[in-house]
Amino acid sequence: MLLNSYPLLVSEDMVFRSKQATMQNSISVMVYSLSGLDRLTEENVSTAMAVVEDTELSRILVTNSAGKVLYDTRETGSAVGSYVLYTEIVQALTGSDAFSCAYHNGAFRSRGSSPVLYHNQIIGAVYAYEYDTEQAALLDGLQENLLRLSGMIGVAVLVLSMMLSRVLTQKISKLLNAIRQVREGAYSHRTRIAGRDEIAQLGEEFNSLTDRLQKTEDARRRFVSDASHELKTPLAAIRLLTDSILQTDDIDPVTTREFVADIGREAERLSRITEDLLRLTRLDSGVLERAAVVDVLPVLEQVLRMMSLVAQEKGAELTYEAAEGCFVMATRDEIHQVIYNLVDNAIKHSGGAAVQVELSMEDGAVVLSVSDNGPGIPEDDISRIFERFYRVDKARSRAAGGTGLGLAIVRDTVERRGGTVQAANRSGGGAVFTVRWRAVTEEGDVV
Ligand code: ADP
């Protein structure tokens, strides 16, 4: 619309201006040639006008001060002798110039007038009228061209935007379809959107999201099946033992006691597993107790005091070397749990050898290392021992009272507070677990 109307309005205006200029020019020439006359009569006006008559104009009228026509260029239907009171003439007779121009029905109609003065007295008026179809035809042509051009642009824009919207909607519906599939549980579904635009990037992001979703889902499935298996084993043992007691006639009290003691051990194992599972679920939920500054040394000493009896029982030698002033942001229970699990593992898996605990500060970190000189961890298993329910030797771990969750709890607990834990084998034999927490000052400021 702008393309069609603005240039036309501007060119129309330009034509109006040029018409006004040329018409006023012609009129002033006529007025000038009449200005020497003291009175206007048909004769003297005709004589004066014969010299200046402008052939460009369609009609010229000269009236006297009363509006009576003295001169008319139109031959048929000449207005000479009659009174003509066109607006322009009336305006000229009151002393001012007038001009009007209109574009209508393919023609410019311009009207202009000026008073004729003699000694500052209005003695008449000159009126000119022009009917121009030539410039109007040019304007029409321009309008037609513009219309054609904007029509072409309109069609091109329409076609292009339809193509673009089709491409976009195709991509979006592909993404939508992928989202729906994943929502229904098809986590392996991946979408492939061509291009490098935002929708293609969205597709890639969606794929990596689905990747993670699939991994989490796989881990969840594995965890549920492992957990139910772990819970099933002691339950099956309990069932077996109770059945044996119930179905054996004349069972002697010593065997009964043994069986009941076994049932007690299995029940204890069940409660250990459920406790560990609960601990992991709490860690998974992401709800953390508010961290406070914890001095690691007293916690370490408390755990070691507690564990020394167990170590003694197993014939393991438990020693430690610890620096003072090791503060971390966590909770006392968390630090206790981590040290307990690692020392417990070292005693359990070292098979009665020496267990050494070290606590030190290194490059702004509090480092806790628990090492033993047992058989160590097979290299292939090192990367997996922190997984839930992963054990190198299932039977041995069970026999030692392990749940397979101890190291998973250690890793989750430490990582939740921004720390790290690593397992390695010592060159002289045995395993070493190293935990690093970010060290803080006693006031809780970063070191
Ligand atoms: P578990 O209850 O079996 O100890 P953990 O998660 O604590 O479960 O440990 C996982 C596995 O890592 C253990 O089954 C064991 O095979 C191995 N492991 C842990 N600590 C040690 C260690 N100090 N020496 C050798 N192997 C270890």
14-39 pLDDT, tens per residue? 999 999 999 999 999 999 999 888 88
Instruction: DSSP letter for 285, please.
Output: H
Residue 414 near residue 376 (C-beta atoms within 8 A): no
By three-state DSSP, how is residue 295 classified?
strand
Average pLDDT of the residues in 350-366: 90
Atom of ligand 1 nearest to the CA of 404: 8
Binding site membership of 374 for ligand 1 (Cβ less than 6 Å) = yes
pLDDT for 208: 94
Q: Please tell me the distance from the alpha carbon of residue 305 to that of residue 324, in angstroms, as a whole number.
A: 17
Q: How far is the CA of 41 from the centre of ligand 1 (A)?
A: 132
Taking residues 142-151, report their average pLDDT.
88
| Any ligand 1 atom below 6 A from CB of 397 | yes
pTM over 0.85: no
Number of Cβ within 10 Å of residue 206's Cβ equals 18
Rounded alpha-carbon distances, angstroms, from residue 409 to 21, 53, 238, 301, 396 = 97, 112, 27, 21, 20
Pick from 349, 370, 390, 422 the residue to mutate for probing ligand 1's pocket: most ligand atoms within 8 Å of its CB: 349
Lowest mean pLDDT across 9-13, 247-251, 272-276, 286-290: 286-290
Q: How far is CA 94 from CA 20, 66, 388, 439, in A?
A: 20, 11, 109, 102
Whether 184 contacts 213, CB under 8 Å: no
Average pLDDT rounded to a whole number, residues 119-136: 92
Average pLDDT value over all residues in the chain: 91
437 has which bridge partners? Answer: 366
Question: Cα–Cα distances in Å, from 377 out to 53, 266, 316, 345, 373?
Answer: 120, 27, 18, 12, 11
304, HSE (Cβ side, Cα atoms, 13 Å)? 19
Q: Is 114 touching ligand 1 by the criterion CB < 6 Å? A: no
C-alpha 321/C-alpha 360 separation (Å) is 8
Tell me the three state secondary structure of residue 244. Answer: helix
**Band of pLDDT at residue 223, cut at 50, 70 and 90:** confident
With 0-12 CB in 10 A as exposed, 13-18 as middle and 19+ as buried, what is 408? buried
Model confidence at 53: pLDDT above 80: no
| pLDDT score at 54 | 64
446 contacts 440 by C-beta, under 8 angstroms: yes
As a whole number of angstroms, the distance between CA 130 and CA 317 comes to: 124
424 CA to centre of ligand 1 in angstroms: 12
121: its two tokens: 């007295």
Q: Is the CB of 269 under 6 A from ligand 1?
A: no
The reply to whether ligand 1 has any atom less than 6 angstroms from the CB of 316 is no
Q: Which atom, in ligand 1's list, is nearest to the CA of 402?
A: 2
Whether the CB of 337 sits within 6 Å of ligand 1: no
Sign of CA dihedral 331, 337, 342, 347: positive
pLDDT at 272 over 70: yes
Nearest CA to ligand 1 atom 11: 391
pLDDT score, position 251:
86
Strand intervals (E) in 174-310: 292-295
CA distance 141 to 132: 15
What ligand 1 atom has the least distance to the C-alpha of 392?
16
With a 6 Å cutoff on the Cβ, whether 407 touches ligand 1 is yes
Q: Which residue carries 């059945």 as its tokens?
A: 243
> What is the tens place of the pLDDT at every residue in 71-93?
999 888 889 999 998 999 999 99
* Residue nearest ligand 1's atom 7 by CA: 406
Question: Cβ(356) to ligand 1 under 6 A?
Answer: no
Say if ligand 1 is within 6 A of residue 139 CB: no
Asked whether the predicted pLDDT for residue 432 surpasses 90, the reply is: yes
